[in-house]
Each structure stands twice: as C-alpha cells, then as structure tokens.
Structure 1
Amino acid sequence: MKIDYDRAANAAYIRRFEGKVIDSEEVAPGIVYDYDETDRIVGIEILGVKQRTAEQFKNREHLTFAISRNA
C-alpha cells in the first residue's frame, strides 16, 4: 500500500494494489474508488483532505458500497 498527498490539489491517494484503472466511482462526497478489470479496488482518492474532520473519516458508509460491489 502506498499513500500520496498532493498539497496543491488538497487530495490524497491510497494505492492498494498495482494495476490499470478501468473504472472510477465517487462513493461518497469527495471519495473516489478506482477499480481494475476484476472490479477490485486498486486505489482510493480523497478530495478536500484539509477540510475534512476526524469524524468524517470515521464515517464508513462508503465502505459498505465497496463490499457489496465486490460481493
């Protein structure tokens, strides 16, 4: 896993696996999942990192979507 932060864009990217991104989907405001050809989440983009609170990061509703999509 690799985490990058772009200060100018105020965005973070979490790369979970190497692979070509085939599809992307915004699963919550400012949270974008990138999928490979097998529908596996290869990366997660978080927009507006500086404006987010710890409470927002604790909210995991968007993870339920990822689990159901991969089921």
Structure 2
Amino acid sequence: MKLKVDQQADALYLTLSDAPASRTDEVSPGVLLDYDDQDRVVGIEMLYLSKRVPDVDLRRLLFETVPQAG
C-alpha cells in the first residue's frame, strides 16, 4: 500500500494494489475509485485536498492501526 500526496495537483492517491486500473468511477465529488479488470478497487484518489482539510500539515501524516477485537 502506498500513499502519495501531490501538492501541485492538490490531490492524495492511495494505491491498494499494483494491478493496473481498467476503469475509474467518481463516487462522490472529487473522490475517485480505480478498479482492475476483475472489479477490485486498486486505488483511491481525493481531489481538492486543501479544501477538504485546510489545516493539514502534509509533512506529518498519522497512521493508526486498530487492534483486533478478541
């Protein structure tokens, strides 16, 4: 899994798989899902990032793993 923030494009892209995308759907304004040829989501793109989170410090991203219920 890879996360790429493109400040020039004002976009964030989360790669879920190395499989090539065969189609893209805009599921919400500025939120796009890329699908492979077997209809699996391989990537998620968010456009207009600065408008969605205006105070974000793109040099500091927090990743959190939620523990499994046991």
Please give the range of the TM-score, normalised by the shorter of the 2 chains.
Answer: 0.7 to 0.9
Q: Which consecutive residues of structure 2, in runs of 5 or more, have no partner in the other structure? A: 54-70
In the TM superposition, what whole-angstrom CA distance separates every residue of 1:18-65 from its partner, at most 9, and x where no partner exists?
Answer: 101100000001000000011000000100011004xxxxxxxxxxxx
Once the two structures are TM-superposed, the CA of residue 16 in structure 1 deviates from its matched residue by 0.5
- Number of aligned pairs? 53
TM-score (norm 1): 0.72
Structure 1 distance, partners of 2:41, 2:15, is 9
- Counterpart in the other structure of 1:44: 44
Secondary structure of 2:5's match? Answer: strand
Offset of 1:3 from its aligned partner?
0.3
Normalising to structure 2: TM-score of the pair? 0.73
- Percent identical residues: 40
CA-atom RMSD in angstroms? 0.7
CA distance in 1, matches of 2:20, 2:3: 17
1:43 partner letter: G
Q: Give the number of the structure whose alpha-carbon radius of gyration is greater.
A: 2
Q: Write the letter of the residue equivalent to 1:13.
A: Y
Q: Structure 1 CA distance, aligned partners of 2:11 and 2:18? A: 19
Higher helix proportion (structure 1 or 2): 1
The 5-angstrom pairing of residues 1-71 of structure 1 reads 1-53=1-53
